[in-house]
Amino acid sequence: MEEAQRAQDPGAVFDAHMKAEFVDCDLDATMATMVAEPHLTHVPVLTGGTGGAEVRRFYGAHFVGHWPPDTKTTLISRTMGQGRLVDEFILSFTHTVEMDAIVPGIAPTGRKVQVPTVVVCGFEGDKIAYEHIYWDQATILVQLGVLPATGLPVSGAEQARRLLDPTQPANHLIRDKRG
């Protein structure tokens, strides 16, 4: 995409950012989509960084190129306005490598994961100023076999399946109170 068109389209900038992170595994291209002093927070586990050097160090040591080869994102929705982009997507992967960015301290389990994810991305001009990334950590831990799937009000890949297909069952954690 031409540079002039990217400057007018935050969605294209963010798409280039995601491609650099997950497809090309290119740290320099990832950082080129961001302002000089960005900040990044993976909210459930408080990983990320503040400032260009810290974000680069985090991306290089723990994120860019540190994902399983089958990692995929499936966009559900995108909202843009007021200098922000909000993407809702399903992140899926097989846990075949250490993933300190999202499951620090958990050795690879070989299990498949599908997790609904939301990123709130702020812009300054045509560059990403920040990313706040949210997901349900319990659903990842259930799918990895680290957290029990029974006895707690948590679910696993059912979350992703229902978002992708709203005819999938809901309310499975609610006890039926009808006589």
Residue 117 falls within a domain, yes or no? yes
The domain spanning residue 113 has which CATH number?
A: 3.10.450.50
The whole domain housing 53 covers: 3-164
Which of 53-57, 99-103, 113-117, 170-174 comes out lowest in average pLDDT?
A: 170-174
Number of domains in the chain: 1
Residue 170 falls within a domain, yes or no? no
The answer, yes or no, to whether residue 6 has pLDDT greater than 50, is no
- C-alpha dihedral (76, 52, 64, 107), degrees to nearest 10: -100
pLDDT tens across 37-80, in order? 999 999 999 999 999 999 999 999 999 999 999 999 999 999 99
Residue 155 falls within a domain, yes or no? yes
